[in-house]
């Protein structure tokens, strides 16, 4: 029984399946496309949404330290991702890597966790998009009724309740728009993403450049607020918890690795795309956080659109920038939803190819090269969750799922180096096993600092996944 549960998929078999002409996916992505896809996925909710909540609830101005900690961890994980993405350039990301190193059951577990990660990331960013769109509409004199502009449920201090709203219509709307774009094919999606990335990076640089003049340094005092007596609420425990929460912001390069099978030269371009996009985004995050907490006192930033709030606080001085910031945020968050939905659909596609999920999800449109059923499922589930649930709950689930995925990638590199040293590795993680193990250890420490409720929800999600595996996946697995 144990042999069946932990049977591994041979790397040569994975590569052979991916290279077959009938695989359906088309290799249309260049190195430049990968960098912009990475920036498109990373720069979004982390800057435009999560910074405010994490500063207000956990770290204060010291959130810049939280971002720096997460960036270091992401570089370590990014090196490990690069090794795998160059060696096994297929859809599925960590799921496919785990199948080759740890066996089917653990591959299913991480695949199911990746679904959690992408599903709730798409939903969280859609809720953030809704906040900026509502703010922009209000600046134009248009107010949406409360019954269709908020999540159905709220969550406060461990208590659930109803907001009185039917659902969050703007959040559902953007999910539908992204679905329509993705159904046109990866080449079209990448082109639209390139345009959006240029827009939002320009807007972010404008905010940093002009916002420097409006910083009130007293807002940075104390830089690390004194702990309130509650674990994770300010102080150094708050900075570490903040690092775990904002880890959500760096999810993009994981999504980038899911597109390896659609890349022209994955052995060279995937490592470049992952590492370049990661370093650029880390610098932008730290810069925006410093300016944001300098303009607005950290305890006032727990809002869906914190940068819009900062611009409004500057008064007439930057009033001209306000609509640009909101438009840039809306465009930027749109690209994140686009890349995350793309990544989510490729996870379904990869798992369904192995028959651990129904094979109908691996069907690829012959004209567009899009796994259409997987894309439809991704969009429907994202729309439902984005319409019903608040941002805070979604953020915590995404962060714990991301940290778990990163730690498994780091550990998998060490395992595969020992079990399959003969494999061709176009890119090698330096100083192995020290750097991979260090990356895994820091990821696990950050998970410990996340709220207990996030662990409870992760446990519940895992149990649901195990039920699906043993009642469906185990019986239908292609490996058997």
Mean pLDDT of 365-372: 82
Q: Comparing 203 with 453, which gets the higher pLDDT? A: 203
With bands split at pLDDT 50, 70 and 90, how would you rate the model's confidence at 357?
very high
Mean pLDDT of 186-199: 80
Tell me the whole-structure pTM to 2 decimals.
Answer: 0.79
Per the structure block, which two tokens stand in for 396?
């915590």
Per the structure block, which two tokens stand in for 324?
């640009």
Mean pLDDT of 20-49: 70
| Closest CA relative to residue 356, chosen from 108, 113, 103 | 108
- Please compute Rg for the chain using Cα positions: 21
Chain mean pLDDT for the chain: 82
Dihedral (CA of 400, 402, 407, 408) sign: positive
Q: pLDDT tens for residues 226-272?
A: 888 887 789 988 898 888 777 767 766 676 777 767 777 777 787 88
**391 has a pLDDT exceeding 70:** no
**Sequence ranges of the domains in the chain:** 2-476
**1 has a pLDDT exceeding 70:** no
User: DSSP characters for 102-150?
Assistant: T-HHHHHHHHHHHHHHHHHHHHHHHHHHHHHHHHHHHHTT----GGGBS
Q: Comparing 471 with 450, which gets the higher pLDDT? A: 471
Q: What is the pLDDT of residue 304?
A: 67
Query: What is the length of the chain?
Result: 480
**425 has a pLDDT exceeding 70:** yes
> Dihedrals φ, ψ of 221, to 5°?
-115, 125
Are 335 and 38 in contact by the 8 Å Cβ rule? The answer is: no
**CATH among 3.60.15.10, 3.40.50.300, 1.20.1250.20, 1.20.1740.10 for 2-476:** 1.20.1740.10
Determine if residue 427 is left, alpha or beta; phi over 0 gives left, psi from -120 to 50 gives alpha, anything else beta.
Answer: beta
Per the structure block, which two tokens stand in for 446?
């950050």
Mean pLDDT of 2-26: 68
**205 has a pLDDT exceeding 80:** yes
Q: Comparing 19 with 227, which gets the higher pLDDT? A: 227
């Amino acid at each position: 029984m144990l042999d069946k549960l932990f049977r591994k998929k041979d790397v040569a078999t994975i590569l052979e399946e991916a290279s077959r002409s009938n695989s359906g996916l088309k290799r249309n992505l260049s190195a430049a496309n990968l960098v912009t896809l990475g920036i498109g996925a990373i720069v979004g909710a982390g800057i435009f949404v999560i910074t405010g909540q994490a500063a207000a609830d956990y770290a204060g101005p010291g959130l810049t330290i939280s971002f720096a900690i997460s960036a270091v961890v992401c570089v370590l994980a990014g090196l490990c991702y690069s090794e795998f993405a160059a060696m096994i350039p297929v859809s599925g990301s960590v799921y496919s890597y785990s199948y080759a190193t740890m066996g089917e059951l653990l591959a299913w577990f991480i695949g199911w966790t990746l679904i959690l990660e992408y599903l709730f990331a798409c939903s969280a960013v859609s809720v953030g998009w809704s906040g900026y769109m509502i703010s922009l509409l209000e600046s134009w004199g248009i107010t949406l009724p409360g019954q269709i502009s908020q999540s159905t449920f709220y969550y406060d201090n461990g208590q659930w309740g109803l907001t009185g709203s039917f659902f969050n219509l703007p959040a559902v709307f953007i999910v539908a728009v992204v679905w329509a774009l993705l159904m046109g094919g990866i080449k079209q999606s990448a082109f639209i993403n390139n345009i959006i990335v240029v827009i939002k990076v320009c807007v972010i640089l404008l905010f940093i450049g002009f916002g420097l003049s409006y910083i009130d340094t007293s807002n940075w005092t104390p830089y690390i607020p004194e702990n309130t007596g509650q674990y994770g609420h300010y102080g150094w425990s708050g900075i570490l918890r903040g690092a775990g929460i904002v880890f959500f912001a760096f999810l993009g390069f994981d999504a980038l690795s899911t597109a390896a099978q659609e890349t022209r030269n994955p052995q060279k371009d995937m490592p470049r795309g992952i590492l370049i996009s990661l370093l650029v985004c880390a610098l932008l995050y730290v810069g925006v956080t410093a300016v944001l907490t300098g303009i607005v006192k950290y305890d006032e930033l727990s809002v869906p659109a914190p940068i819009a709030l900062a611009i409004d606080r500057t008064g007439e001085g930057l009033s001209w920038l306000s609509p640009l910031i909101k438009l840039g945020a809306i465009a930027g968050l749109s690209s994140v939803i686009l890349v995350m939905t793309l990544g989510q659909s490729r996870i379904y596609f990869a798992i369904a190819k192995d028959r651990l999920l129904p094979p109908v999800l691996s069907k690829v449109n012959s004209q567009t090269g899009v796994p259409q059923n997987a894309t439809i499922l991704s969009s429907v589930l994202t729309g439902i969750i984005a319409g019903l649930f608040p941002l805070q709950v979604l953020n915590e689930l995404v962060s714990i799922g991301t940290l778990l995925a990163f730690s498994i990638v780091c550990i998998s590199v060490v395992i595969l180096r020992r079990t399959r040293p003969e494999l061709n590795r176009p890119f090698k993680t330096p100083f192995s096993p020290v750097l991979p193990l260090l990356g895994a250890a820091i990821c696990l420490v950050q998970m410990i600092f996340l709220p207990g409720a996030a662990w409870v929800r992760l446990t519940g999600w895992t149990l649901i996944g195990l039920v699906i595996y043993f009642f469906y996946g185990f019986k239908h697995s292609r490996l058997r």
